[in-house]
Structures are given as structure tokens and as C-alpha cells.
């Protein structure tokens, strides 16, 4: 357990001191959300209606931007091979690195979403559900993304390929995230709890199973 | 089964099998298309456009069968690391993708007269579209990784991850929106479709399945031959290089 935590801590420290990854994801998020009103027109009613969906999709794209870096640097300088030779199972290595990605990308993106919601005139009742669904849904994004990152490790056009491999797998998280938000804002027959709990289930299953697939992919690449 | 798992044996047996499959597919297509265009009645609501169903429904079935084939082959290549399983998964991906695209295109052509629009974001169409993306991802990873055995294992992992995800995606998209009619053939209380329409559909479904199997087998044979040619070329280059080294000495 201590080696797991120290690997997470190391990745967090690297992300903080390099600074680039978090900043790039947040900047990309801001730019995508700022471009949308330019394309759709400045109608605040329309923007307010589509704000949660726009923020969720933009969040997925921003997270994808950094997903292919999860293993990249460690693969280039040989750290990953050392980790594979070490005592800690590769599954735990994959889990630790996915967790670090979630902390450095998922959480900041979820926390900055309300600020961008302000720019889109999002309804006041949507803020809390939006942040909550993003915090619950982003672990799935990071952990499933790690599979794509491991599969495309060391390929020349890896970044582009990751999006193609991983985006279809994000469909369930996106759908349940958005239905939870809209159930919370629009008075309807559906309760907020149900989609939220399913979203949580998707995240938990991804956290448990995705490292197995990611580790298998890493073994294949490192052989 | 295990005896056939040897590529040389496989080439021996698959040749005649391929011939029979192709003949069977051709005969069944002839019968099926005759039934579709001549003997089967028009639908009282849909008129002639109901004939699109005889292409659309089998294509959609095969889109799913293709992915199941890939999933089974993926287990084979991950657990037993068998080269034939790799070959099977690789050969099935483009064929499955083609049938998926066929199902989407015919569905959209059918949707225009029936629903008044080429594309609806309805649950089934959306999940088949996502299935097409999964196929494209598999094809992309086969193309991206040069070393075939490594590409095979990467594609197998992705194929299984996708296979686990397909039901979840299906469930989530159903939750999201439902317009497409429910299943009318595969039901516990018997099919709700009229027998005059059902028989041609079943014949066409079997014809399409044989076509799929024939194409799959032919693609597997091609892939094995391609790999043999590749290794022969490598040997030639290696022997030429050693010959040149001898001359230099």
C-alpha cells in the first residue's frame, strides 16, 4: 500500500512541478466552452438550456487531451520498465497512475466547471448536481482512459488514436451524468438519485476492472 | 477443433469449406431475393419500402455477430496466444464494420420514408453507431502497431474491453432515448411479424450469415498467405545479406 501511495504522490508532485498538463487541460476547457457561443449565437436562453451538456462534453475532450500522457513520460525514460520489474503488480501501477490523473485532471476540471457555467448562463439549480456528477463520473474517464493510453504506448500517432479508442467507451458515463443533471434541474418523473447511482456504479466498475486491462496492455507493450 | 488450429491444416480444410460456403450463400441469396421481390407481399402500411428490411435486419444481426466473433477470437489469442485466433479477429473487424455500416445506411434509407428523416438520435441507431466506432478503433489499432503478434494482443484487449462495454452502452442509450420499434422476431412469446414476411427474412438472414462466414474464411486465408509471403521475404533478405557478407570477405 505504501508503494502505491508513494507512486501516486510522485505523480502528483511531477504534475504540480511541471505544471503543463493541468494548465493545458484547463485552458483547453476554457477555449472550447468559449468557442461554442461564438458558433451557436449569443442567445442566453439557448445557452442556458444546453450548458450542462456542453460542459460535460468539453470536460471529456479536455480530459482526453491529457489521457495519452498517463504512461508516456515514464515509458520514454524507462521508469515504466523499472516499475514493471518491481514488486508492485502492474495492475496497481496502472491504478496509481490513473488515480493521479484523476486528481490532477478530473477534479480541477469538475471544480472549474461552475465558473464556465456562469459564462453560459447556467441555471442556479444545476451547479451543485453538475459538479457532483463530474466528480463522480471523472474516475471512469481517467481509469478507462488509461486502457487507451496503455494500448497506444509508444505509437507515433498515439494521441489521436486514443480518442478513437476511448471516446465510444465514455458514452455511458456521459449519458448518466447528463441525465442526473437534467433530472435535478427539470421537474420530471425521473429522480436525481437513480442516474447518479448508476453513474457511481460505472465509475466503481471502471476503477476495479480498467487497471486489469491497462496492465495487460502494458505487459504487451513492454515485452 | 484443436487439430484444425494448426495453420497448415487450417489452409487444407478451409479451402473446400470456403467453396461450399460460397455456393450455399449464392443459392440462398438467389432463393431469398426471389422470395423478397416476387413472392413476399407488400406491407399494408409501408408498401414496397418494407423490402429494405430484408437487407437491414440481417446486416444488423451480423454487425453484432461479427463483434461476438472478435470477442471469442480475442479470448483465444489472450488465453492460448494462438496465431489463428489473431488472424480470425483481424479478418473479422473490417467485415463486421462493413455490415455495421450497411445496417446504418439501409436503416437511414428506410427511415426517410417511414419516419420522415434520414437520421434520428434514437436508441438503437445510436448504439449501432457506437458499435461502428468500436470496430473502427479495432481496425485503427491493427494498422497502428506494425508487429503483428503485439498488435494482435492489443486488439484482443481492446476487443474484450469493448465487448464488456457493449451491453452497458446499449443499456445507457436505451435509457437515453427510445423511438425504434422493439424487437419483433426474437421474442419469448413467438415472433410478432407475419409469416409471409418472416420466411424471406429468415432465408436472407441465413444467406447473409453464410456470406459473412465465407468472407471471414477467405480473409483469414488471405491473412495467413500474407504472413507467409512476409516471412519468405524476410528469409530472402536475410540470406541475401549473409551472401553479400560472404562475398565481401
What is each CA distance from A191 to A48, A178, A183, A197, B16, in whole angstroms? 21, 13, 6, 11, 59
Give the alpha-carbon dihedral of B70, B102, B60, B191, to 10 degrees.
-150
pLDDT by residue, tens only, chain B of 249 residues: 455 567 888 888 888 889 999 999 999 989 888 888 887 777 666 677 778 888 898 998 999 899 999 999 999 988 888 888 999 999 999 999 999 999 999 988 888 887 778 887 777 788 889 999 999 999 999 998 888 888 899 999 999 999 988 888 878 877 776 544 555 555 545 556 777 778 888 999 999 999 999 999 999 999 999 988 988 898 888 888 887 777 766
Chain A: residue whose CA lies nearest to B155:
A151
| Chain B touched by A164 (CB under 8 Å) | yes
3-class state of residue B243 by DSSP: helix
A156-185 per-position pLDDT tens digit? 777 788 989 999 999 999 988 988 888 887
Under an 8 A CB cutoff, do B172 and A171 touch? yes
Full-model pTM = 0.87
Q: How far apart are CA B142 and CA B89, in angstroms?
A: 10
Sign of CA dihedral A160, A166, A172, A177: negative
Q: Which residues from chain A sit within 8 angstroms of residue B125, using beta carbons? A: none
Q: What span, in angstroms and rounded, lies between the C-alpha atoms of A43 and A47?
A: 6
Query: pLDDT value at position B175?
Result: 75
Question: Which pLDDT band, with edges at 50, 70 and 90, does A222 fall under?
Answer: confident
Place of cell 495492475: A91
**Mean of the pLDDT values across residues A2-9?**
90
Query: What are the cell numbers at B35?
Result: 422470395
Q: Which residue has the cell 455490415?
A: B99
- B19: contact with A, CB 8 A cutoff: no
User: What confidence tens digit (pLDDT) does each residue in A29-60 have?
Assistant: 999 999 988 888 888 888 888 888 899 999 99
Give the nearest chain B residue to A153 (CA atoms): B145
Question: Are A172 and B154 an interchain contact pair (Cβ–Cβ within 8 Å)?
Answer: no
Read off the C-alpha cell for B27.
443459392
3-state secondary structure A43-72: CHHHHHHHHHHHHHHHHHHHHHHHHCCCCH
Searching chain B, which residue's CA lies closest to the CA of residue A144?
Answer: B161
Window A:100-119, CB contacts with B under 8 Å: none
C-alpha closest to that of A43 among A120, A115, A127: A120
Q: What is the pLDDT of residue B179?
A: 42
Amino acid at each position: 500500500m505504501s508503494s502505491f501511495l508513494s507512486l501516486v504522490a510522485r505523480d502528483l508532485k511531477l504534475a504540480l512541478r511541471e505544471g503543463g498538463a493541468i494548465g493545458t487541460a484547463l485552458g483547453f476547457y476554457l477555449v472550447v466552452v468559449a468557442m461554442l457561443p461564438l458558433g451557436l449565437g449569443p442567445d442566453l436562453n439557448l445557452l442556458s438550456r444546453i450548458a450542462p451538456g456542453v460542459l460535460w462534453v468539453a470536460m471529456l475532450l479536455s480530459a482526453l487531451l491529457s489521457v495519452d500522457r498517463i504512461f508516456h513520460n515514464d515509458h520514454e525514460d524507462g521508469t515504466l520498465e523499472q516499475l514493471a520489474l518491481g514488486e508492485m503488480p502492474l495492475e496497481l501501477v496502472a491504478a496509481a497512475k490513473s488515480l493521479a490523473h484523476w486528481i490532477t485532471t478530473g477534479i480541477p476540471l469538475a471544480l472549474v466547471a461552475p465558473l464556465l457555467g456562469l459564462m453560459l448562463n447556467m441555471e442556479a439549480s444545476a451547479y451543485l448536481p453538475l459538479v457532483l456528477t463530474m466528480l463522480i463520473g471523472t474516475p471512469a474517464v481517467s481509469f478507462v482512459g488509461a486502457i487507451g493510453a496503455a494500448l497506444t504506448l509508444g505509437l507515433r500517432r498515439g494521441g489521436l488514436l486514443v480518442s478513437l479508442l476511448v471516446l465510444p467507451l465514455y458514452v455511458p458515463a456521459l449519458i448518466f451524468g447528463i441525465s442526473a443533471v437534467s433530472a435535478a434541474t427539470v421537474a420530471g418523473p425521473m429522480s436525481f438519485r437513480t442516474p447518479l447511482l448508476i453513474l457511481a456504479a460505472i465509475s466503481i466498475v471502471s476503477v476495479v476492472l480498467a487497471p486489469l486491462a491497462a496492465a495487460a496492455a502494458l505487459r504487451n507493450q513492454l515485452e | 477443433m484443436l487439430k484444425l488450429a494448426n495453420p497448415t491444416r487450417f489452409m487444407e480444410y478451409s479451402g473446400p469449406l470456403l467453396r461450399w460456403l460460397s455456393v450455399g450463400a449464392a443459392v440462398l441469396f438467389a432463393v431469398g431475393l426471389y422470395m423478397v421481390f416476387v413472392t413476399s407481399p407488400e406491407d399494408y402500411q409501408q408498401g414496397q419500402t418494407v423490402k429494405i428490411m430484408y437487407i437491414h435486419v440481417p446486416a444488423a444481426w451480423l454487425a453484432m455477430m461479427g463483434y461476438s466473433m472478435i470477442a471469442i477470437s480475442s479470448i483465444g489469442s489472450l488465453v492460448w496466444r494462438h496465431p489463428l485466433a489473431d488472424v480470425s479477429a483481424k479478418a473479422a473487424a473490417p467485415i463486421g464494420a462493413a455490415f455495421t455500416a450497411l445496417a446504418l445506411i439501409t436503416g437511414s434509407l428506410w427511415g426517410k420514408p417511414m419516419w420522415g428523416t434520414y437520421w434520428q438520435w434514437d436508441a438503437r441507431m445510436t448504439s449501432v453507431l457506437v458499435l461502428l466506432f468500436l470496430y473502427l478503433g479495432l481496425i485503427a489499432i491493427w494498422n497502428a502497431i506494425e508487429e503483428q503478434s503485439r498488435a494482435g494482443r492489443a486488439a484482443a484487449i481492446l476487443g474484450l474491453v469493448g465487448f464488456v462495454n457493449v451491453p452497458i452502452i446499449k443499456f445507457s442509450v436505451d435509457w437515453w432515448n427510445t423511438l425504434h420499434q422493439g424487437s419483433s422476431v426474437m421474442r419469448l412469446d413467438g415472433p410478432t411479424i407475419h409469416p409471409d414476411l418472416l420466411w424471406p427474412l429468415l432465408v436472407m438472414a441465413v444467406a447473409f450469415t453464410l456470406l459473412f462466414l465465407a468472407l471471414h474464411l477467405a480473409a483469414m486465408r488471405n491473412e495467413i498467405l500474407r504472413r507467409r509471403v512476409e516471412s519468405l521475404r524476410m528469409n530472402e533478405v536475410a540470406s541475401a545479406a549473409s551472401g553479400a557478407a560472404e562475398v565481401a570477405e
